[in-house]
Structure 1
Amino acid sequence: MTKQEPARSREQRKQDVLDRLEKDEDAWVSTASPDGAPTLVPLSFVWDRGTLLMATRRTNPTAVNVTPAGHARIAVGHTRDVVLIEATAEVIEGADLATESGDAFASKLNWDLRGRQAWVYLRFTPTAVKAWREENELAGRELMAEGRWLD
């Protein structure tokens, strides 16, 4: 049995989430096609300007799915220390990506896709964030709602 740590304060959870978004490299991204077929894929990311910046081939279901509705759910971490993010999404062509964003992506992930026509960037802007480790943190798991961090 896992020893349960005391529940973290909202402030500590927010800081832990921001630290995780800065340091982690991979997330699970869930989207749905217009007819409701779910897709769940792992993608690498960089935390850039308060958003998660990722990339995938333009023909992959994740890129195709975010185009009509612009919604996604993203999970960072494992089941005993999860960050769950609801986000709006936009597709960005490599030529349209801000230089600073492209540099941050290439630097963190050692992967520069600018100029590769088969690839697009996906920018996910969080609208809601939840974070918890164990059952004792479920009550205070909501950290962001309607795109604003909660006090």
Structure 2
Amino acid sequence: MTNREPARTAEQRKRDTLKRLENDEDVWVATASAAGDPVLVPLSFVWDGATLLMSTKRTNPTARNLTPRGTVVLSLGHTRDVVLIDGVAEAVEAADLEGSSADALAAKLGWDPRDLAAWVYLRVTPRRVRAWREANEIAGRTLMREGAWLV
């Protein structure tokens, strides 16, 4: 496979990653049950500069899987421009949310999960972020480790 573009610097990858977090509509959310059964679903999200906020029915496997472990893997982009985020997720009730985050998600969705008692919010705090396009960006793809940006 040949690289189509020169490798981006770590600084450029971080800028591109932050742009995706600020502008992308949806993220793939991967969780696993206590028995190890994987679940992968797309959810709409908002980024507040530190965490991603999304919502789903509290009975859905994605929400249930957060209870045993709290770990989640998120993916933005496609296979030739991917951002992978390993994070810690927590279920948050609508009453416990700050208005601006919930308002931002409702505006993005076009409807308000706060109006539905069967829905719960999921807040994900990134712990590791990796971003790359082609093989020439595999080295140095880690942009965040232990919750701290490296660049």
> Shorter-chain TM-score category?
over 0.9
Summarize the Cα distance change of 1:47–1:132 in structure 2 as closer, same or farther, 3 Å threshold.
same
User: Secondary structure of the residue that 1:114 maps to in structure 2?
Assistant: helix
Q: CA deviation at 1:36?
A: 0.6
Alignment size in residue pairs: 151
- Once residues 70 and 62 of structure 2 are traced to their aligned partners in structure 1, the CA distance between those partners, rounded to angstroms, is 10
Q: Distance in 2 between matches of 1:109 and 1:19?
A: 19
- Determine if the alignment matches structure 1 residue 14 to structure 2 residue 14: yes
TM-score norm. by structure 2 comes to: 0.96
How far the C-alpha of 1:2 sits from its partner, in A, is 7.2
Q: Distance in 2 between matches of 1:106 and 1:50?
A: 19
Compare 59-68 and 42-51 and name the one that shifted more.
42-51
CA distance in 1, matches of 2:69, 2:62: 12
Please tell me whether the aligned partners of residues 81 and 133 of structure 1 are also in contact (alpha carbons under 8 angstroms): yes
2:53 equivalent in structure 1: 53
Would you identify which runs of 4 or more consecutive aligned residues in structure 1 move more than 6 Å?
none
TM-superposed deviation, 1:49: 4.0
Q: Which residue number corresponds to residue 5 of structure 1?
A: 5
Give the Cα–Cα distance (whole angstroms) in 2 for the partners of residues 126 and 18 of structure 1: 12
Query: What residue ranges of structure 1 are gaps of 5+ in the alignment?
Result: none
Amino acid at match of 2:99: T
Q: CA RMSD in A?
A: 1.3
| Contact 2:87–2:128 (CA under 8 A) maintained in structure 1 | yes
- Local SS of the residue matching 2:68: helix
